[in-house]
C-alpha cells in the first residue's frame, strides 16, 4: 500500500490487524512491514515469522530502541489466524485469534515513521 499519514503512528493509539493463512512457516516471513526491506533500522512496525520459530511483532522508536512481542510457538500451516497489534494508553499488545499473547508498557515512545509503502 502506498505511503500514507495513516501509517505514521507516532505516540498515538492504533490497531493493525490482518487475517493470514500460512502455507509455509520456514525462515523469515513478513506479514506486515513498513520500511525498507534492505535496512531494518528504517522499519516503524513489522509482524513476521522469526526464523522458523515463532510469530513476532517489532516496533522501532525514534530513540533507537525497539520493542518485541512474540508468541511462544510457530503457527501451523493451512490454518487461518487473526493477528492484531494494538497500542492503547501506552500499552502495546499482540493478539492471536483474539487472545492476548504479550503486552508491554512503552510509555510515550514515538514509533519511527518513514516514507516507504506498507507491505501486507
pLDDT of residue 35: 75
Q: Is the pLDDT of residue 107 over 80?
A: yes
Is 110 in contact with 11 (CB distance < 8 Å)?
Answer: yes
| Res 2 pLDDT > 70 | no
For the chain, which residues make up each domain, given as ranges? 5-119
Tens digits of per-residue pLDDT, 13-62?
A: 999 999 999 998 888 888 887 777 776 677 788 898 988 889 999 999 99
Is residue 4 pLDDT above 60, yes or no?
no
Query: For residue 116, which of 36, 20, 23 has the smallest C-alpha distance?
Result: 36
Q: Residue 81's pLDDT is what?
A: 95
Residue 119: closest CA among 10, 18, 12, 25 = 18
Burial environment of residue 54 by CB neighbours within 10 A (0 to 12, 13 to 18, 19 or more): middle
Third-level CATH fold of 5-119: Jelly Rolls (2.60.120)
Give per-residue pLDDT as tens, 59-102: 999 999 999 999 988 899 999 999 999 999 999 999 999 999 99
Amino acid at each position: 500500500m502506498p505511503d500514507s499519514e495513516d501509517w505514521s503512528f507516532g505516540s498515538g493509539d492504533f490497531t493493525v490487524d490482518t487475517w493470514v493463512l500460512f502455507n509455509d512457516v520456514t525462515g523469515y516471513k513478513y506479514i506486515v512491514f513498513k520500511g525498507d526491506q534492505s535496512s531494518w533500522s528504517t522499519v516503524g512496525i513489522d509482524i513476521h515469522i522469526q526464523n522458523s520459530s515463532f510469530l513476532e511483532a517489532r516496533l522501532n522508536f525514534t530513540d533507537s530502541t525497539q520493542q518485541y512481542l512474540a508468541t511462544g510457538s510457530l503457527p501451523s500451516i493451512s490454518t487461518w489466524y487473526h493477528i492484531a497489534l494494538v497500542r492503547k494508553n501506552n500499552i502495546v499488545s499482540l493478539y492471536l485469534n483474539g487472545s492476548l499473547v504479550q503486552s508491554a508498557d512503552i510509555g510515550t515512545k514515538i514509533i519511527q515513521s518513514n516514507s516507504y509503502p506498507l507491505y501486507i
